[in-house]
Structure 1
Amino acid sequence: MASFSYTEELTCPVCLSIFTDPVILPCGHAFCRECITGYLSSLAKCPQCLTAVPAEGRCLVTSPILRNLSEKEAEKLRRKPGNEEVDEWLCPEHEEKLKLFCATEQQLACIICRDGEKHEGHKFKPIKEAAASVRRELEAFVEQVADDICAVEGVAKTQKEEIRKTKEKSLQLMTQIHTQFEEMHQFLRMREDEIRKDLKKKEEEAIEKMSETLNALETSLSKNRELEEKVTSVLTITDYEKFLKSWTKENSTMTDQHLLSPIGRDIQVVTNSLYLGPHESHLKFFMWKEMLQVIQPRAEELSLETTCENITVSEDGKSLIRQRTTYSEDTSVRYASVFSSTVFTSGQYYWEIEVGERDYWKVGVQKSFLSFSKSNYITSSQETELTITGSPQRIGIYLDCLAKELSFFDAESMTLIHTMRESSLSAPGRAYIQYKFSKGADHNPPRVCWF
């Protein structure tokens, strides 16, 4: 007997699927409970005929007949040939059991699939053999992943250690920076206290002199007012005899010159003499100069390595001196190369070199240096020409062997000129200076200061 399908009649107009918990509106149209409930919450009309649905009509009851028919139709569709849910081990195209594995497309196949045009030229394996092969690959992959996990864990552990070291180094540097700044703060506080005490002492001395003068002026003022009162009182007497008798009686012991001379005219005002000298206008500069004495330069001698026999090192080991000599015009310009006696193997170093207004020099460490020639600044690493504002007269050099960095500064303003990062900087090296000299007098020889 032929079977009929009622799929279309049992399809919800909203979700277009077989009814799930079907309900019927007063107008006669059926919908899934969930679908129509959501629809009526925004628009109280039937989705099909647009008939208004009153509030009392929204208490929807499930239709048992529609529910039973919907469940039977859904079950019929699930059992329909070609549906993957009927038997997951059957080929959806040929309804044959999946016994092969297509290695080319990495999918299960039946015998008919193997012989079809779609899989022509493909390589097939029995499912058991293919499963064993894939299992071996997955097991090898798991081992590789385990090795990768182990390696990554090692790297992560190393990274954590580096983070710990960085935090530890940061804390150490924080303490070091605080200590060094505290030394400067202590020095500045000490000098501030001394200068303030000096100012207070000078203020007290100046005010003491001014107070003495003010007291003398007030005493003189009091006497002058008393004299003014006496004279005014005598002047009120109109009788000549009484007038003269009264005046001469009161001042019989005083001469006329002394009597009529105002008191205190010879007292001079003591002006403001408070003076702190250069601390008034150049306090910061003088304090900076005094602070330089706190930073004691380290004594460092230079060793000479040059073919020129006319260059010597000063007694303090800080300056290069050209000896007076006579040589021909064709050798009037020569070059001297000088190295420090200290060999840098580890740690950090800083030194400054006074290059003055020379038109040629090289400073740095052996194979890594900054050179100046014909108004051009060039690095030795990549022969890169640098753009520098102004003409530094004093070059500061900072070497960090661990970081393999060499930095150059304008020592007057401590402005960074350039930083070189080279692997060779970790090897033992020495400070390097090369400069040009002629037969004329050298009034500003190169000078080195180590800190």
Structure 2
Amino acid sequence: MCEKAMIMSLPEEDLTCPVCCDIFTDPVLLSCSHSFCRTCLKRCWETGLRECPVCRRRAQKSSPLSNLALKNICEALLQVRNQSAEAVKDKMSCSLHGERLKLFCLVDKEPICVVCQFSKLHTDHSCSPLEEAVLDCKDELALSLKVLKDKLDSLKRIQQTSADMAKYIKSQAADTQKLIRSQFEQLHQMLCQEESDILAAVKQEEEEKITGMKDRMKELSAEVLALAEMVSDIQEHLKEEDMELLMNFKAIDERSKSVAVGSDNMSGLLIDMTKHLCNLKYRVWEKMLDHIDYTPVTLDPNTAHPCLILSDNLTSLHYSRQPSCCPDNPERFHMSAEVVAMSPLGSGSHHWVVETGSNQDWLLGVASSSVPRDVEVSARPENGFWTLCFRDGEFRAMTSPPTPLTLTQTGTPKQIKVQLDYNRGTVSFSDHADDSEIFTFSHTFTETLLPYFYTQSSEPLRILPEKVLVTMLRQ
């Protein structure tokens, strides 16, 4: 193979006779070092002048010496050419019938001859000329290559998001532990054991989530490597000769289409801060009855828009023009300054009170758990929202279209009570100060709901705690 490659690499002009401009046949060597075919030189000398046809130097001998080295090289070159021609001919011929391959079976995706077309194997199959098939196959492979490259880019983006989430999980775990310590300090040393248990739960979840993320990132790395190799493989095949490409097309095509990409579902990967912080003091009320605050609604920070700032105890929110650094997880509202609470609300009656204070731009109410988080939609019932809006000094119930509300009491309510009766299908808003009704929605609910909040004001909205009463039953 090395000798064949060396012969084929020689410049053809060095092996070409200057007279006939073809590969030397029985070459002879003149004293001037120029070589010619013996018959070509003989014809030139028939004119009577025995001189070199190239440099016109007079030949010293009437019978020049044979150039054996050049003869051997030229014969080897012609032999290699003949072998290559035979190989191409074999490749272009049907292995079953010996006929020239002129067609491409669109069903079996392989080159066939005219005899094959009428055989039992292909008699009902659609075929196309090889020239058309080459173009079609190249187009199809180019499309597959584009799809694979898009999948590769998508996987790389998911991989980067996963890496960002892994860092954010550590930050969340640290923040959660800090907040837990702060609350436990208020409960004094008698709660040390309880504090230790909850911190251990956070640490365990952090390790589980980090371990899960590392495993996922390893899987993504493996998928990225596999796709990259597939892309490289197809690119190499596209450089092949047409017939070789067609011969390999079926296997390449099936392999490229069999590549499966892992799920890009990123839900539920972050630390569940609410699970550790929600009603923390209430959970230990038996030890600290005098210090219990129970908040019926706790905000879910994993759903908060980056421009919303939540309090450490997850019971108040306000708007900031400087977005926070948080991952682009699926649970999060991406388009407007919204957040929902953690606990889904189903059958039964539920209520909570929100202190609006000086906030002049807010929406309060409930939203279906399935409302979209990555597109901006109006907070109206047809979109899964039942809300009360206060903006530009006016109250509006967000019906379709919105209903302007005129309040009979003096002044603007500073505390709004939201009450959901799931079974009766009502969402009511009232002034908590005198319990006067503002507006009531009626609807037949079919899925769980979540307390919903929106604001673009730097003034906070605060969920008010409720006093816990404990009654001891004595027998």
Give your verdict on TM over 0.5. no
What TM-score results when the alignment is normalised by the length of structure 2? Answer: 0.28
Considering only CA atoms, is the larger Rg found in Structure 1 or Structure 2?
A: 1
Larger relative contact order (Cα-Cα within 8 Å, sequence gap ≥ 6): 2
What TM-score results when the alignment is normalised by the length of structure 1? Answer: 0.30
